[in-house]
Each structure stands twice: as C-alpha cells, then as structure tokens.
Chains A and B, each alone.
Chain A
Amino acid sequence: MESVSGRKSVLEVRGLMRRFGGLTAVDRFDVDVNEGEIVSLVGPNGAGKTTVFNLISGVLRPTAGSVRLLGRELVGLPAHRITHQGVARTFQNIRVFPQLTVRENILLGTHHWTRSGMLGSVTFWPSTLRAERAAQAEVHTAIDLFRERLEARLDDPAFSLSYANRRRTEMARALAARPKLLLLDEPAAGMNPYERIEVAGLIRSMRDRGLTIFLIEHHMPLVMEISDRVIVMDHGVKIAEGLPKEVHSNPRVVEAYLGRRAASA
C-alpha cells in the first residue's frame, strides 16, 4: 500500500477493529492516505464506513488497531485532542450548531488553535483581542470557496439555512480548523445534480490548496471523477483498493453492491 508517487503518508491506519457486542463493525481495516490525495471510502449501507471515521476522529474507541497521523498515534486520545492533532471532519447527518450564526459556527472551527480565556475577554487583554481577530480573519479565508453562497448569510442562525448551505457551513467550519486531514462523510448526500457537481469542484479545490482528503460517498460517478484512490468496504472488511477504474470492474465489488448473480453474469 505504498503510495505510487512516494508522497509523505498523512494517515496510517493498521488493523483497525471495532466490535459492538457480537457484531464486528470494522474488521482489521488498513488504509494509508498520502499528502494531497483524495481517497474515497465506498461500500453498501451498513458496511462500516462511518464507523471507520468515528474511530479515526475519536468519537468511538477502537477495539484494536492503530491510527497514526503524521506518525503520531491517535488511538486513546479524546476526540477534542484528536482535532488538536489536525483531524477535522463533517458528519453524515449534518451537525451544524443550529442556534449559532454561520459566522459563529465557522469560528468554532478556530476554537482549537486560538487561545483566549474568560478573564482575557472581560479585560480586553491584547493577546485575547489578537486571537479573536485571527479567528475572524480565518472566517473569511474559510468561506472563500463558498463565498457567493454563505457570505450574505454569515449572521443568520444556522437553523434557518437550506440543507445545502448547512453542508457548506459544516465544510467551512472544518476548513477553519486548519486540518492536516479532512474527513468528509457523504458530502454530496441529499444534494441535487448541480450541487453535486459543485461539491466535486469544491473537494478538488480543497485538495489544490494542499489539504489531504478522506471521504465517504455513495454517489459513484462523483467518486470515480474526483478520487485518486478508492477503497471498497463490505461487512466491515476492506474488499478492494485501487484506482477508480480498477475498483469499478472488480468482481468482488460488483458482488457486494449487486449480489452474486450479477457478478458472475
């Protein structure tokens, strides 16, 4: 699983395993994501894709295995420490903060790399003011890709946004966290075809800005178009990995998606 171009590995997952009672949701899962790559994780419903993301981002603890980000072990760190290490994520069922404005949502992304305390904000302490200014400036950088959609809505509460704009807000929030690795969980779910093409463009431009992206997506044409590599999971096990067109014609993948008869036909 060495990268073809020999680029630096950002994420290194080895033997990742998670059981829920008798169910093994993720079974000895390995993956490498290299710097500047877009790697897609696909698979039928219930294959364990989101569980992999939850294990990487610390929402769940793995039963066994290791997750390394730029060589540092993440397993065992609480979720907020993992964000500090440089992992940001979006959620399958969008999780913006409904009562906060779009601006405040994005400012939450800057939470882990700014420092300001309660005394500082009451006394207008210079370092607190600097931190707040840096955070506000980051909002404008983070919405750069979504400017025409979000700029007019910056001071509206997030619950008033459309579905697609909530997704954009969530992505902008993750970008404001200045991640080294961005986990996108079904960024195009529930979007119309135009918006889906827009999402594809967005993910590419994020990569062009130097981000490393690991994403889960159901919409195969989108995956085929933007991914550098595709990993297919079924029943918690990785069943295929490779370039998009290799995976596409892999009989095990066809079987997982369409059943045995379709695969042999």
Chain B
Amino acid sequence: MSAQPAPLESVATVHPLKRLWESGPSGWNHALTRPVVLIPFFIFAALVPLGLQYVEDNSSWTDAQFWTLILANCAMYACLAVALNLVVGYAGLLNLGFIAFFGIGSYAYALVASDQLHQHYPLWTALLVVMAVTLAFALLVGVPALRLRGDYLAIVTLGFGLIMRDVILDLDRPPVLAGHQFGPDTLNLTGGTNGIHQVDPFNLPSSLPLIGPVPHFRMYYWIFIGFLALSVYCVLRWRNSRTGRAWVAIRDDELAARAMGVNTFKYRLLAFATSAVMAGVVGMIDAAFIFNAFPGNFDVQQTVTIFIMVILGGLGSIPGAILGAIAFTVPPFLLQQFVFYKYLVVSIVLIAVMVFRPEGLLGTVSIRPRKTMGGTLELLTAESAVEASELPAVTDTEVADLEAAAGAIVEDPEWKV
C-alpha cells in the first residue's frame, strides 16, 4: 500500500476505575455483571432476612416478617423484570402481553396443585407442566405474532394479554363455541373473578439444617432469590454467547442480522418463548407463595409496572432491571406516610429519568431515537445527512428497508419456509 497512513486512534492507558467512571452507565452495567459483584450481591440478598430476624430478636422492632414479605415481592418483580428485559431489552420485541404468561403459569400450577380439579402433583412434575403450558401458549402467540415488527407486535401482544385475562375470568363455566358447549355444566376451570384458592404450597421442609425453622415468607424469599440468581446467570451466559449476540443484532439491525446468516424468526421466537417460560415459573412460585391464583394479579397495570422497572433501570441491563425492581417496590413502604403522593413522585421521577437519561439508569439502549444509538432508521438518516452528495437518491430497495425498519410487513422469504 502506497497510502500515507492516517493517524491512528490512540487509546491512552488510564486507570481502570477512571475509565469505568468515564465510560458512563453502560460501562457500570458491564462492571456490575461480573461474578465478583453478582455473587456477593446474591449472598448478601440471601442473608438479609436473617439480619432482619436478628435485629427483631435484639430490639423492640417487630417488622421482620413484614419486611421479608416486601422483599419477597421485590425479588419476584426482579425475576419478572429480568425475564422482560430478555425479550424487550435484548431482542427488542415489545411484548405488552408479558404478564399473561405470569398468569398462565400461576393458573397452570393452581390447576395441578389444588382442589379445583382435585389434582395434587408433586413439585417437579408441576414445574414441568407449568413450563410446558407456558411454552405452548408462547408458541401459539409467538409463531403468528412474531412475523410483525415494532408497534404491530406490541398491539398484538397487548391484545393477547387482554384476551387471556377475559378468558380466565370467563372460564368459571364451560366454554361455549358456536352453540356447542365443551365439557359438563359443572366445569369450573379458573374460578372466574374469585380465582383459585387453597393452592398447595411447595412441599418443602419447614426447617433447614444449621439455619433452623424457616418461616413461610423467608422460604419463598429464598426461592425467589434463587430463581433470580439462576435467571441472571442464564441470561448473562446467553448474552455473551452466539444466541445473545444474535438477539441484540436483530434488535439493532434485522436486515444486517439476516445477511449474516441469523435465522431472525427462530431467534425472535427463542427470546419470546424463553422469557415467557421464565415468567410462567415465577407465576407458579407466586401462586404457591400466596396460596392462590387471582385474576387481579396479572392485569394490564402489572405489565406497565414491570415495564417501568425495566425502563427505569435501563433496557438491556440486568443490574438495571434488578435496580428498577428494588426502586419501585421498596421505597413505597419506607415512605408509607407519604403514600398519598406515591404516584405523583413516581411519575416525576420517571419523567426526569426519561428526559435526562432516556436509556435508563444503567441501560445501553435508548427508547428515544438518537443519532449515535439505535437502529436502522437513525443510521440511515445520519449517513444521508453526511453523505448526501455521494449517495444516490433513495431507491425502492431502501424504501423497502425503511418500511421493514418501521415495522411494516415486507416481502420476507424466510416466512415461506
């Protein structure tokens, strides 16, 4: 090469802590996902109820049980936020019907572990049933819906969520389709608005070696924390493997991902189904925790709550999802005398975060389009602004790309396979 080399981009050697600070929240996100941070975090989280118990035993404070319950709730939301983050943050699929899978998991467990159908499956069999049922529903929705993009997918999944809620409310009597009644008159699957009560808790020892007797709340707190640790481990492993790279690539630029040999439909479905099964298992643990499956536990507001957690913490960030869950569940109880202002404060904080940090506290992706971040549309417009003289006029191909990026259905050979 006879070219005179252009000056190389120099990388100064700086102190790793300084570099971490300057790399911004996405750099912190990276740092917080290291095992050296996560393992102590989970050990600490598991020890918290013991600490609360210790304080209660040695002072006049009597709220250890109450706070363990709140923390168990918090851990449950963290599990859901991590699962939602997988499908929305990584794969970029706006799944507004997410909470329906939580409900399906709850009801699937309640049906095989209560007097509703007089079934009392052992724990592991029930777990398999729950996973199979949520997976089946995920495929039922995902296979047709994932051919849509962006807003269209959001609307279809939102519709699914609403329909599932109505179906569960109406299944206290046998379903009737086109004048034909399925099942006997006495068939009552879901208990309608009452839900299913007296669901079996998991058959677990009530006392553990070394620790002694374990109260119900604490046991389920540990189960949730354990499941959270397992989810975080799996999701982080996936993110740093071929599967996770394909997810993020599809989110960033679907056309380019396909050109690199990624079967985009398959990977979108994988992300959708995996997150649904995770939500289903959380629903099962929750049903055993609160002894019932109740339709109010998974209405649209719950979806919004979990979305707020994920967006507040940062799309595409696992520590962010956990942080969002903590930030949204614990402070309301700390500031109970101000509970009247709860939604006011939450709204103001959310607006402030969206204005000043649209990518969330620890996030990597902005939900607001930016020139330096995001997908196809931004890249295209940014380039044409710079290269207007060099680029030809927009061709039909590019129009097709733009449509694809904007979410319309375009000619897509892979669907015909």
Whole-angstrom distance between the Cβ of B228 and the nearest chain A Cβ: 15
Q: Is the CB of A97 within 8 A of B255?
A: no
Residues of B bordering A, CB below 8 Å: 1-6, 8-11, 26, 233-234, 237-238, 240-243, 245-246, 248-249, 251-253, 255-264, 270, 274, 316, 364-365, 372-376, 379-380, 383-384, 386-387, 390-393, 395-398, 400, 411-414, 416-417
- Complex formed: what's the CA distance from A135 to B411 in Å? 32
Q: Is the CB of A108 within 8 A of B245?
A: yes
Tally A residues with Cβ within 8 Å of B.
69
Q: Is the CB of A108 within 8 A of B257?
A: yes
CB-contacts of A129-166 with B (<8 A): 131-132, 135, 148-149, 152-153, 157, 159-160, 162-163, 165
Interface residue A33 (Cβ < 8 Å from any Cβ of B):
no
Other than A79-B258, A109-B260, A132-B241, give 10 A-B pairs with Cβ distance below 8 A. Answer: A51-B396, A60-B397, A80-B264, A91-B259, A95-B256, A97-B252, A97-B256, A118-B234, A122-B238, A194-B5
Task: Output the nearest chain A residue to B242 by Cβ-Cβ distance.
Answer: A116
The interface-forming segment of A3-11, A98-106, A253-261 is: A98-106
Whole-angstrom distance between the Cβ of B50 and the nearest chain A Cβ: 29
Interface residue A197 (Cβ < 8 Å from any Cβ of B):
yes
Q: Is the CB of B252 within 8 A of A100?
A: yes
CB-contacts of A78-112 with B (<8 A): 78-80, 83-84, 88-89, 91-100, 104, 107-109, 111-112
Q: Knowing A97-B252, A100-B252, say if A162 contacts B9 (CB, 8 Å).
A: yes
Q: Is the CB of B260 within 8 A of A128?
A: no
Whole-angstrom distance between the Cβ of B30 and the nearest chain A Cβ: 9
Interface residue A265 (Cβ < 8 Å from any Cβ of B):
no
Whole-angstrom distance between the Cβ of A23 and the nearest chain B Cβ: 7
- Complex formed: what's the CA distance from A45 to B394 in Å? 10
Q: Which residues of B contact A201 (CB under 8 A)?
A: 1, 3
Whole-angstrom distance between the Cβ of B367 and the nearest chain A Cβ: 13
Q: Is the CB of B270 within 8 A of A108?
A: no
Q: Is the CB of A121 within 8 A of B243?
A: yes
Task: Output the nearest chain B residue to A92 by Cβ-Cβ distance.
Answer: B391
Q: Is the CB of B258 within 8 A of A116?
A: no
- Complex formed: what's the CA distance from A148 to B6 in Å? 11
Q: Knowing A58-B413, A100-B245, say if A94 contacts B383 (CB, 8 Å).
A: yes
Interface residue A189 (Cβ < 8 Å from any Cβ of B):
yes
Q: Knowing A78-B413, A100-B252, A194-B3, say if A111 contacts B390 (CB, 8 Å).
A: no
Please encode chain A, from 55 to 92, with 1 for each CB lying within 8 Å of some chain B CB and 0 for all others: 00111110000000000000011111001100011011
Q: Which residues of B contact A132 (CB under 8 A)?
A: 241-242
**Among B238, B270, B396, B417, residue most surrounded by chain A Cβ atoms (within 10 Å):** B396
Q: Is the CB of B372 within 8 A of A95?
A: no
Q: Is the CB of A93 within 8 A of B391?
A: yes
Interface residue A40 (Cβ < 8 Å from any Cβ of B):
no
CB-contacts of A217-262 with B (<8 A): 218
Q: Which residues of B contact A210 (CB under 8 A)?
A: none
- Complex formed: what's the CA distance from A148 to B241 in Å? 26
Q: Is the CB of B233 within 8 A of A122?
A: yes
Q: Is the CB of A80 within 8 A of B241?
A: no
Q: Is the CB of A61 within 8 A of B411?
A: yes
Q: Which residues of B contact A58 (CB under 8 A)?
A: 258, 413
Q: Is the CB of A83 within 8 A of B260?
A: yes
Whole-angstrom distance between the Cβ of B308 and the nearest chain A Cβ: 22
Whole-angstrom distance between the Cβ of B209 and the nearest chain A Cβ: 28
Whole-angstrom distance between the Cβ of A51 and the nearest chain B Cβ: 6
Whole-angstrom distance between the Cβ of B31 and the nearest chain A Cβ: 13
- Complex formed: what's the CA distance from A45 to B387 in Å? 14
Please name 30 pairs of A and B residues whose Cβ atoms are closer than 8 Å in the assembled complex, sorted by A: A23-B396, A58-B413, A59-B255, A78-B258, A79-B258, A80-B260, A88-B260, A89-B259, A93-B379, A95-B253, A97-B252, A98-B374, A99-B248, A99-B252, A100-B252, A107-B242, A107-B245, A108-B260, A109-B260, A116-B241, A118-B238, A118-B243, A121-B243, A152-B10, A159-B372, A173-B260, A189-B387, A194-B5, A198-B1, A218-B390
Q: Is the CB of B259 within 8 A of A59?
A: yes
Q: Which residues of B contact A177 (CB under 8 A)?
A: 260-261
Q: Is the CB of A194 within 8 A of B4?
A: yes
Set A159, A190, A195: member contacting B390, Cβ < 8 A: A190
Whole-angstrom distance between the Cβ of A211 and the nearest chain B Cβ: 17
- Complex formed: what's the CA distance from A162 to B372 in Å? 11
Q: Which residues of B contact A163 (CB under 8 A)?
A: 386
Task: Output the nearest chain A residue to B392 by Cβ-Cβ distance.
Answer: A45
Set B8, B245, B373, B386: member contacting A111, Cβ < 8 A: B245
Q: Which residues of A contact B375 (CB under 8 A)?
A: 98
- Complex formed: what's the CA distance from A51 to B400 in Å? 11
Q: Is the CB of B395 within 8 A of A78?
A: no
- Complex formed: what's the CA distance from A149 to B3 in Å? 14
Whole-angstrom distance between the Cβ of B377 and the nearest chain A Cβ: 11
Task: Output the nearest chain B residue to A117 by Cβ-Cβ distance.
Answer: B243
Q: Is the CB of B414 within 8 A of A149?
A: no
Q: Is the CB of A98 within 8 A of B373?
A: yes
Whole-angstrom distance between the Cβ of B16 and the nearest chain A Cβ: 13
- Complex formed: what's the CA distance from A54 to B262 in Å? 16
